[in-house]
Amino acid sequence: MRFKSAILTMASTMVLVAGLAGAAAAADSDRSGGPTVATGSPAERAQERVYFGDLHLHTAFSFDAYLFKTTATPEDAYGFAQGKPLKGPNGGVSTIDRPLDFLAVTDHSENMGVMRASGDPASPLYDTPLAKAARDPDPTVSGGAFKSIIAAAKNGKMGDMFEPALTRKTVEDAWAREVEAANRNYHPGKFTTFIAYEWSSAPETKNLHRNVIFRGGTAPLPFSSLDSVRPEDLWSWLERQRQDGYQVLAIPHNSNMSDGTMFATVDSDGKPLTAEYAKRRRRNEPVVEITQLKGQSETNPILSPNDEFADFEVVDERVGSGIKVTQFHGGYVRDAYRTGLTMQESQGFDPYKFGVVGASDSHAGLTPTRADRYNGAHGMADASAAIRLACGFCKGANDLRRFGAMGLTAVWARQNTREDIWDGLARKETYATSGPRMKVRFFGGWNLASVTPGQADWVEASYTRGVPMGSDLPKLSGHRGPQFVVWAVKDPDGANLDRVQIVKVWSKGGKNDEKVIDVAWSGTRKRDPKTGKVPSVGNTVDVKAASYSNTIGAVELKGKWRDPDFDPKAPAAYYVRVLEIPTPRWSTYDAKTTGKPIPEGLPAAVQQRAYTSPIWYDVPEQ
C-alpha cells in the first residue's frame, strides 16, 4: 500500500537576525538538580534519538493494587516491560507488543508493601484484625475491610490502619526490594530503570499526587503523604535530598481529578503565589503528566469550547470516587499555561512553566500501549473484557470504562541511560503520547526561514538557529514574529496521521487566551477561509468488526509556521499536538469480544495523539 506524505509551509518570510550558537539559550535558571541544558554541538544533538517509556506504574506493593488482587512484583513489572510474559490474577497471560526503553515502578509510598505483607502468614501483620477481616470468606466482612482501607486512604488515615512499628519495618523491606529490582534490571544502553515512588496526597479526594524519580542507583526511604499532604513539604524534602547528593524530581499527575487544586493561584495555606513559590515549583517539578489511564489533562471542552478535539478521554471525577469535578479552572495543563503567562505578565513570575510526559498509571504491573491488546490495568477489577464492560467494581468509585487504555513518555536523548533520560526530563525536551510511538520534532526561533523539515541536516540547522521543545525563545528585538518547524512520523505499527497542530496560549493586558492552528495535514483538504479550520480526515472505523483502514491519513507530516499575530509585549507559549486518524477505542474491541453493545456514553472511535512540551516567549525586560 502506498501512503501519502504531506507538507504545508506557511508564512516563511526571512527575518534579518543573526543565528543562534547552539541551544544554550534554552536554559531555565530556575531548574536545579540536573543539567539545565543539553551538552554537545548541534551536530551531536542532531544524532539524538527518541526513547519511549512509562514513568508511572504500580505493583502489588501498592495498597490499592493489592486490594485489586494484583500479584505482580516490581521484578515482574520490569520483566514485562522488557518483553517477558506476565500472568494476571485471573490466570490470563499478557505480553507487550514492543519492549519499552525505560520504566519507573512508582508504588505508593503510603504503607508501601503493608497490605501485601498482611496476606503473608510469615508476616506479623497477618494476624492483625484488619488483615483477618480482609481475608474473611464472608464478602460482607471482607467488603467492609476493603471499604475501611479505601476510606483511610481518602482521609489520610492510612497510618492508623496497623501498628506503626510493624508497618515501618515492612515499608523499609518493601523499599529495599523496590531499589534492588530497579538496579538489577538496569541495562545501560538497552533498558533503563528508575528508582521511584508515588507521593499520594488527595485531600477531600482532590488529586495532588506526584511521582518522585531519582537519577541514580540509591535513594532514601520515601517521604509520603502520611508525613505531609502539602506539596510544599514534599519540595522541601526533595531539596534536602539534593543537598545530600541525590538528584531527584517530581512529576504531578491527573490534574484533571484535582477539582481545580493542582494549578491553583494560591498555595496550600490559601495565600497568593509568590516568586519564591514559582521558583521552587519549577525547580522541583520540571514536567507534568498530561495523559494516562485516568484521562487526559491537556484541556476540557468547558475550558476550550472552540477546540473541536478537546473532548478526548475526558474523566471528570475525583480520584478514587464517583464525586464529580466541578472546578475545571486550575485542573488542566493548557489552562495552567494560560494562568502562568498572566502571572508572568502582571507579577514577573510563572509557576507553571513545565514540560509534559505521559504514563499508564497501571495498577497491574504492566504497561498497556495498544487498544487492541488491552488486558486491563487494575487487577481483577478489569481483568477481562466482560468484567471491564460490566464495571461491577465501579460502584462508589471511578467508572473504569471511561478510563483510557494507555500513555507513554517520549524523551529525546543521546543514549538510553538513567543519566541521559533523566536529564532530558530535567530540561523538558520531552513529549507525551496516548500510547502510539509516533516520532515528533518541534523547534522555534527567529531565523528558521531557510530550514525545511525533512531535508538533509535540518535538525542540526534547527538546533543551531533555534531551540527545541521545552525551551525559551532567545530574547531578541526587531523581528516579525517567531517561526516554528515541526515534523511527525506515525508509529510504524499504528494508525496514519491526520494532522499536526500548534496550540498557542498568551496573555495580554491581564487577560489570557488560546488558539489552535492546523499547520500540516494529510491529503488534499483545504483550510476553510472563514473558520481557518481543516475539514475532518474521515473515519474508516468499522464498529461491529472493531477495525479500521489506513487508507486515509499520512505516514509523515511536516510543516513551518510563523505566528502572524505575534505581539512582542505579550508573553506566549506554543506546543504541538499530533492527531492520528480515528481508530477503535479499547471498549469497542471489548464489545466485539463479548458480543455486547458498547456502553452508553463511550465513543466507538478515538483519535490517539501526542503533545509536546512548549516553547515559551517572554517579554524582554525594558
Q: Determine the pLDDT at residue 11.
A: 32
Domain that holds residue 197: 4-125+162-617
Residue 152 lies in a domain: no
In this prediction, residue 26 has a pLDDT band, given cuts at 50, 70 and 90, of: very low
Tell me the mean pLDDT in the region 24-39: 50
Asked, for residue 139, whether it belongs to a domain, the answer is: no
Decide if pLDDT at 429 tops 90.
yes
Dist. CA 210–CA 164, nearest whole Å? 24
Distance CA 3, CA 550 (A): 8
Residue 143 lies in a domain: no
Of residues 65, 158, 166, 154, the one with CA closest to residue 116: 65
Q: What is the mean pLDDT of the chain?
A: 91
- Examine residue 132 and state whether it is found in any structural domain, yes or no: no
pLDDT in tens, 263-290: 999 999 999 999 999 999 999 999 999 9
What per-residue confidence (pLDDT) applies to 8?
35
Whether 550 is in a domain gets the answer: yes
Task: Report the C-alpha dihedral over residues 73, 77, 80, 82, rounded to 10 degrees.
Answer: -130
How many whole angstroms separate alpha carbon 171 and alpha carbon 163?
Answer: 12
Residue 150 inside a domain? The answer is no
Cα 308 from chain centre? 21
Asked whether residue 494 is domain-assigned, the answer is: yes
Q: Give the residue among 196, 207, 354, 350 at the shortest CA–CA distance from 287.
A: 354
CA distances from 421 to 190, 215, 323, 451 (A): 12, 9, 37, 27
Instruction: Give the torsion sign (CA, 297, 302, 304, 309).
Output: positive
Q: How confident is residue 152, by pLDDT bands cut at 50, 70 and 90?
A: confident
Assign 291 to helix, strand or coil.
strand
Enter the pTM of the model: 0.93
Asked if 41 and 22 touch (Cβ cutoff 8 Å), the reply is: yes
| CATH number, domain with residue 414 | 3.20.20.140
Is the pLDDT at 71 greater than 50? The verdict is yes
The count of structural domains within the chain is: 1
Report the C-alpha gap between 297 and 330 in whole angstroms: 11
Number of other CB atoms surrounding residue 280 within 10 Å: 19
- At 105-141, the pLDDT tens digits run 999 999 999 999 999 999 999 998 888 888 887 767 8
Is pLDDT above 50 for 147?
yes
Domain assignment of residue 43, yes or no:
yes
